[in-house]
Amino acid sequence: MKDHLQVIGFDADDTLWLNESYYQETGQKFYQLLSPYLSCEEAEKELFKTEMGNMELYGYGAKAYILSIIETALRVTENRVGANIISEIITLCKELLNKPVVLLDGIAEILEQLSHSDYRVIMVTKGDLLDQERKLNKSNIAKYFHHIEIVSDKKESDYIKLLERLSITPEHFLMVGNSLKSDVLPVINIGGYGVHVPHQMTWAHEKTEMEERPDRFWKIEHISELRSILQLNK
């Protein structure tokens, strides 16, 4: 394995730092605001439906989420929601954008160790450009990455274009992330390698299943287990 790999890619949200828990916290507060109109369970389903409907237009990230929340509030109340509720929603969303960046356990240590190895390390993440840049700056880990790429999506074609631009062949690339759908499957399908690090909270849109393939895919419970895959000295 070590002889083949040259570049290690990391996802950001819920791989490097906390993310989904903040969205779920904001979502719960939003559902409560809509409680005069529908149940929390119904509000959650309606928001997800709006997000999926807006995916092609808005893509991923905080601003897409904010627009979908406001649209959902207007739609499910048939435009009867008060300006005071819209104001509270906007406040919730601004709070979401200003949440602290909390690195997941072991991330700083593994990145520091990789910085002393022969591997090139890159970050590949979806989301809103300004929001992701803000989180990266707050995280104090930008120094560990040879390249940082914030993309609109993570399909096979997106990885192919990225790797070609960086002169990386897929068989020399391993991607690490919490999403099988976005971080692992596309990379394996183009000839690369993937490591799945599940997070306790995963957005429904990112959930999928696949069997482990010891030749190309590993599932680990903690980022420290990446050391054995990459044959790093402890």
| Euclidean distance between CA atoms 18 and 164, whole angstroms | 30
Whether residue 2 lies inside any domain: the answer is: no
Specify the pLDDT at position 34. 94
> Are 88 and 111 part of one and the same domain?
no
Tally the domains of the chain. 2
Whole domain around residue 219: which residue ranges? 7-17+101-230
Measure the N-to-C terminal CA separation of the chain; round to a whole number of Å: 17
> Are 65 and 151 part of one and the same domain?
no
| Euclidean distance between CA atoms 201 and 183, whole angstroms | 16
> Are 217 and 111 part of one and the same domain?
yes
CB atoms within 10 A of CB 135: 23
> Are 84 and 27 part of one and the same domain?
yes
Q: What CATH number is given to the structural domain containing 85?
A: 1.10.150.240
What would the 3-class secondary structure string for 158-196 be? HHHHHHHHCCCCHHHEEEEECCHHHHHHHHHHCCCEEEE
23-77 pLDDT, tens per residue?
Answer: 999 999 999 999 999 999 999 999 999 999 998 888 888 888 999 999 999 999 9
Specify the pLDDT at position 209. 62
User: CA distances (Å), 89 to each of 30, 41, 135, 220, in order?
Assistant: 7, 18, 22, 37
Pairing of strands 193-196, 120-126: unpaired
Q: What CATH number is given to the structural domain containing 11?
A: 3.40.50.1000
| Single pTM value for the model | 0.89
148-207 pLDDT, tens per residue?
Answer: 999 989 999 999 999 999 999 999 999 999 999 899 999 999 999 999 999 765 544 445
**DSSP result, the chain:** -TTT--EEEE--BTTTB--HHHHHHHHHHHHHHTTTTS-HHHHHHHHHHHHHHHHHHH-SSHHHHHHHHHHHHHHHTTT---HHHHHHHHHHHHHHHTPPP-BPTTHHHHHHHHTTSS-EEEEEEES-HHHHHHHHHHHT-GGG-SEEEEES---HHHHHHHHHHTT--GGGEEEEES-IIIIIHHHHHTT-EEEE---SS--GGG------BTTTEEE-SSGGGHHHHHT---
Whether residue 106 lies inside any domain: the answer is: yes
Specify the pLDDT at position 214. 60
> Are 77 and 11 part of one and the same domain?
no
Specify the pLDDT at position 193. 96
Residue 211 has pLDDT above 70, yes or no: no
Which percentage of the chain shows pLDDT scores above 70?
A: 92
Longest dimension (CA), the chain: 62
| Euclidean distance between CA atoms 147 and 192, whole angstroms | 18
